[in-house]
């Protein structure tokens, strides 16, 4: 699965790689370093691993976030040879080029569409309309329906599901898996996408990935790489001991304090 996060540098003025960009969490423009990540999830065990990441620096390398996702996907499939069947991504990456690339690799994708995306569910009998304006029968709500997205090849159809996220909101999720006949199944597949949000939260709270204040881009890149390695090690220990990453991290400090109370490295003398 692919998604991006922003490393908060809101009070920085001269740190390289920092740029103003939109944050979905903040629902506005913030200053920070953009990181595009690729995370692998085992759907049977629920375990997840960070496979690859890219620093979003369009002024330095001229690459967009979509370019980074395309490079990482190609690397995962053709170079790493990682066994995967399904690709999950956010609305930002639900583009024609990327979706057709995934199909050419023989993979299945699930991704929500933006509410203003133009689609057709009438087989060409009616004009395109916004996906959130479609009419849904009771059967279509339960089993989805075939649609054509504007701009795709003429005969290219995808399956659309109306997936309830909360009592007040529903995501319009599309997939190229025409054998998926239940909205519940699409909802379960999309639920795995929150694992990448979990990874972003753990990396920010446990590795200090946002705390480097050095100005040079090279040092920032090195710091981010080290933080990623810290997460990998914490995750490995957590899996082997049956603990959460938070328990592993805080347990290290607890054991250190316990040892220092028993045998202080710096003896204290009272006058």
The residues pairing with 39 across neighbouring beta strands, listed in sequence order, are 50
pLDDT at position 51 is 94
Strands (E), 46-141: 48-56, 86-88, 108-113, 118-120, 129-130
pLDDT at position 271 is 57
Where along the chain do its domains lie? 2-193
Q: What pLDDT tens digit does each residue of the chain (271 aa) get?
A: 999 999 999 888 889 999 998 877 777 888 999 999 999 999 888 899 999 999 999 999 999 999 999 999 999 999 888 889 999 999 999 999 999 999 999 999 999 999 999 999 998 899 999 999 999 999 999 999 999 999 999 899 999 999 988 878 899 999 999 999 999 999 999 999 999 999 999 999 999 999 999 999 999 999 999 999 999 999 999 999 999 999 998 887 787 788 878 888 877 776 5
DSSP 9-37: -TT-SS-TT-EEEEETTTTEEEEEEEEEE
DSSP H/E element including 101: helix 96-104
Q: How far apart are CA 20 and CA 108, in angstroms?
A: 33
2-193 belongs to CATH 3.90.350.10: yes
Q: How far apart are CA 207 and CA 164, in angstroms?
A: 34
pTM, two decimals, is 0.87
pLDDT at position 104 is 95
Is 208 within 8 Å of 227 (Cβ atoms)?
A: yes
B/e letters for 83-110, b = 16+ CB within 10 Å, e = fewer, are ebebbbbebbbbbeebbebbeeeebbbb
Order across the sheet with 129-130: list the strands: 86-88, 108-113, 170-175, 158-164, 145-149, 118-120, 129-130
Q: Which of 179, 189, 193 is nearest to 144 (CA)?
A: 179
Alpha-carbon dihedral sign for residues 75, 79, 81, 82: negative
């Amino acid at each position: 699965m692919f998604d991006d996060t922003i490393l908060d540098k809101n009070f920085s003025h001269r740190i390289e790689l920092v740029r103003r960009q939109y944050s979905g969490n903040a629902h506005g423009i913030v200053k920070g370093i953009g990181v595009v990540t690729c995370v692998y999830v085992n759907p049977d065990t629920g375990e997840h691993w960070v496979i690859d990441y890219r620093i979003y620096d369009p002024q330095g390398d001229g690459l967009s976030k979509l370019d980074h996702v395309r490079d990482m996907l190609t690397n995962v499939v053709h170079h790493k040879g990682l066994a995967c069947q399904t690709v999950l991504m956010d609305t930002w990456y639900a583009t024609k080029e990327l979706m057709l690339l995934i199909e050419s690799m023989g993979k299945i994708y699930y991704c929500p569409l933006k509410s203003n995306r133009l689609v057709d569910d009438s087989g060409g009998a009616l004009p395109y309309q916004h996906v959130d304006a479609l009419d849904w029968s009771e059967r279509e709500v339960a089993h989805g329906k075939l649609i054509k997205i504007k701009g795709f090849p003429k005969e290219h159809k995808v399956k659309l599901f109306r997936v309830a996220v909360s009592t007040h909101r529903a995501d319009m999720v599309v997939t190229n898996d025409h054998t998926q006949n239940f909205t519940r199944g699409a909802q379960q597949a999309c639920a795995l996408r929150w694992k990448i949000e979990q990874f972003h939260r753990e990396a920010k709270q446990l590795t200090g990935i946002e705390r480097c204040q050095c100005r040079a881009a090279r040092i920032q890149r090195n710091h981010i790489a080290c933080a990623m390695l810290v997460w990998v090690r914490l995750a490995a220990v957590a899996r082997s001991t049956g603990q959460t990453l938070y328990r592993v991290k805080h347990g290290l400090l607890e054991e250190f304090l316990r040892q220092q109370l028993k045998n202080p490295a710096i003896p204290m003398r009272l006058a």
